[in-house]
Structure 1
């Protein structure tokens, strides 16, 4: 009797593992297809009114390796005239510090006019960043910058909420183990991305319209 129960439990566990694997694989295929043809290296990236920089860990008020890589790409796009303004979106009260303050400071110290930078402190995850970019800041076309393991999901989410988004892959002076860990973590985040779009959930913080980005681009309204 005990052996039969054990076999059933093992069988159920194996079934759950297989199901989870199928879900992850299917979400990876969906993400890749959604982003196909819309991901670029920085030198090949097209022009768009706005470059969205996704926030991540800061250290003592300064961008960490991942974030610095993203900001360096944004700097190039702004300097080349391929983006007119930057939306820096992340957690303004993150566990490692204020991501918005760190990103803004980095861009300004590297020559970007502060009037061209808008910060969203409530981009608490990638879906929230894309949703708020569209609903709160009125973004309809943008470049979105993050590392290669993350960029397809970022593009898929932004396009899923109605933004004509192109992803630009940022570099990172990071170790192999760190990159591998984040690649695995990213694969597990893709099913949630699909669920977020299917349910059309509200972001964690819902705000009224904000016209700062339009003003940064030279529009009055």
Structure 2
């Protein structure tokens, strides 16, 4: 009988130990979403943004295939270009992964925007945007951004806006979601854990993989070509 009670206590203890991290993670997710949701807007409601009052539009990378943006990235690019065309900000920063010679998100992103009519000199490239945290950090530290419109899908914007605000920027998020694409549930699951990770990152403030020289948005975006 005592052995049975001991086993039951051990099982209860194991259950509690398993529940604590999940409760903590759930609490963080709720906090991040609640902190950010009032700062996220759709294309249709950009009238709430003051024209030209932002330093830049930051478009976060999301993969390329056969030297062309993935459907998710294309949504982000189209939204960012729309904001630029409506004079929400005078510059666009393309932030993505260019860590390898044969994988280059940011040049593909810039080429797409140029084809849509955005002048090359108004497009800056962040070649070391290896994560959402690093993209937001570098937007402030490298490009000197204080007021920012960040573009992504809504599920991702909660985290991006939260990071930016906790790094000290005035940030709003532009929701690029047009359609719910395949793999959405998997992305939502990954985002739960990513929010937990970046919640602690903005507290600890680790430096990104690369920093480098500061770049002024008053210059031509072409100074970031192939850097």
Residues of 1 paired with 2:192 and 2:102: CA distance? Answer: 24
Residues of 1 paired with 2:220 and 2:149: CA distance? Answer: 16
* Residue of structure 1 equivalent to 2:219: 215
Q: List aligned pairs for 1:84-95, cutoff 5 A.
A: 84-93=90-99
* Residue of structure 2 equivalent to 1:141: 147
| Poorly superposed stretches of 4+, deviation over 6 Å | 1-6
* Residue of structure 1 equivalent to 2:122: 116
Answering whether residue 69 of structure 2 is matched by residue 63 of structure 1, we say yes
Provide closer, same or farther for how the CA distance between residues 216 and 21 of structure 1 changes in structure 2, counting only shifts above 3 A: same
1:17 deviation in Å? Answer: 2.9
Residues of 2 paired with 1:55 and 1:10: CA distance? Answer: 45
Q: Is contact 2:41-2:173 (8 Å) kept?
A: yes
Structure 1 residue runs without a partner (length 5+)? none
* Residue of structure 1 equivalent to 2:187: 182
* Residue of structure 1 equivalent to 2:109: 103
Residues of 1 paired with 2:14 and 2:62: CA distance? Answer: 35
Provide closer, same or farther for how the CA distance between residues 141 and 12 of structure 1 changes in structure 2, counting only shifts above 3 A: same
Provide closer, same or farther for how the CA distance between residues 12 and 106 of structure 1 changes in structure 2, counting only shifts above 3 A: farther
Structure 1 counterpart SS, 2:19: helix
Structure 2 residue runs without a partner (length 5+)? 222-227
Structure 2 counterpart SS, 1:214: coil
Q: TM-score scaled by structure 2?
A: 0.86
1:13 deviation in Å? Answer: 4.3
* Residue of structure 2 equivalent to 1:25: 26
Q: Is contact 1:28-1:187 (8 Å) kept?
A: yes
Residues of 1 paired with 2:112 and 2:164: CA distance? Answer: 25
Provide closer, same or farther for how the CA distance between residues 42 and 18 of structure 1 changes in structure 2, counting only shifts above 3 A: same
1:49 deviation in Å? Answer: 2.6
Answering whether residue 199 of structure 2 is matched by residue 194 of structure 1, we say yes
Q: Is contact 1:65-1:174 (8 Å) kept?
A: no
* Residue of structure 1 equivalent to 2:171: 165
Residues of 1 paired with 2:113 and 2:134: CA distance? Answer: 22
Q: Between Structure 1 and Structure 2, whose CA radius of gyration is higher?
A: 2
1:81 deviation in Å? Answer: 1.0
Residues of 2 paired with 1:181 and 1:172: CA distance? Answer: 18
1:36 deviation in Å? Answer: 3.5
Structure 1 counterpart SS, 2:27: helix
Q: Is contact 1:57-1:96 (8 Å) kept?
A: no
